[in-house]
Amino acid sequence: MSIQRNHPTITLLISCPDQPGIVATVSRFIFEHHGNIVESDQHTTNHHAGIFFMRISFSEEGFALTQSALFTTFQPIATQFRMQWSVHYSRQRKRVAIFVSKLDHCLTDLLWRWKSDELKMDIACIISNHPTLEAQAAMYGLPYQHFPIGKETRAIDQRHILDFLAGQVDFLILARYMQILEPFVVNAYTNQIINIHHSFLPAFVGANPYERAFDRGVKLIGATAHYVTANLDEGPIIAQNVIHCNHRDSVEDLIRKGRDVERLVLADAVRIHTEARILTFGNKTIVF
């Protein structure tokens, strides 16, 4: 079913061991409390111990349960099927902090899409280890916080950022933020930090992927948006895309083409994250 995006919806994200009756039970729960389902999708892993994944959205209008009552009333079903689950209300926008360094192409694209209401999120602030892009934030009336990061004081400096963000945001976007996050930052926002890597991972992990792609003579370059984990550039992949290149392209050409892909891939990942369309499974994602 196609979702009616102009009307507030409630979305359940569910994962549990596969067994008969899950879809019927969840659908009946929604029906019994006067919910109208507008979108439903599910997936089951095909190995021996199958895991069932489900995303189901229904109209908030007419639904009989308050948010707290929904949690209480649905919990026995979750216990019965051993579910890991979460609930998301479309009218409650996720709050985000965008991290940048000096490159502005991803930030510019995100801000334009946010201003045009394509990305339905609330930007709490822009954080950078350089003052370079402060004027850009000011154009959109957004607070810009400059947190310098020292090579010897990185852990202390990032602790200051984490303390500053406490209670302000739901997730983070690394829009070409050229710093490795400390484990305590990653752990504070598990599967809630979206990074754009300028490579079609797992190829060319780490720094300077365009230069290494040029040296290798690849015919495709790409970009990867993924959740950040403690392992550099190895977190669950959310979105990817590629663009063709050839022997006439210089490193500068690859960088120019690559930045176009980076913008599109990061925006796509942010959109599906804010719409609660992602479930993680191990080091993979299920994207509905």
Which residues are 58's β-sheet partners? Answer: 10, 37
Pairing of strands 144-146, 84-89: unpaired
Contact 242, 145 (CB under 8 A): no
Q: Please give the Cα distance from 157 to 233 (Å, whole number).
A: 22
Q: Please give the Cα distance from 213 to 5 (Å, whole number).
A: 40
Beginning with the edge strand found earlier in the chain, give each strand of the sheet holding 220-227 in spatial order.
144-146, 121-128, 94-100, 171-174, 193-197, 220-227, 237-244
Residue with tokens 């995303």, as numbered in its chain = 55
Residue 41 appears among annotated catalytic residues: no
The one catalytic residue in 109, 233, 249, 260 is 233
**Short-list 70, 5, 69, CA closest to 39:** 5
Phi first, then psi: give them for residue 256, nearest 5 degrees. -60, -50
> Where in the sequence numbering do the catalytic residues fall?
233
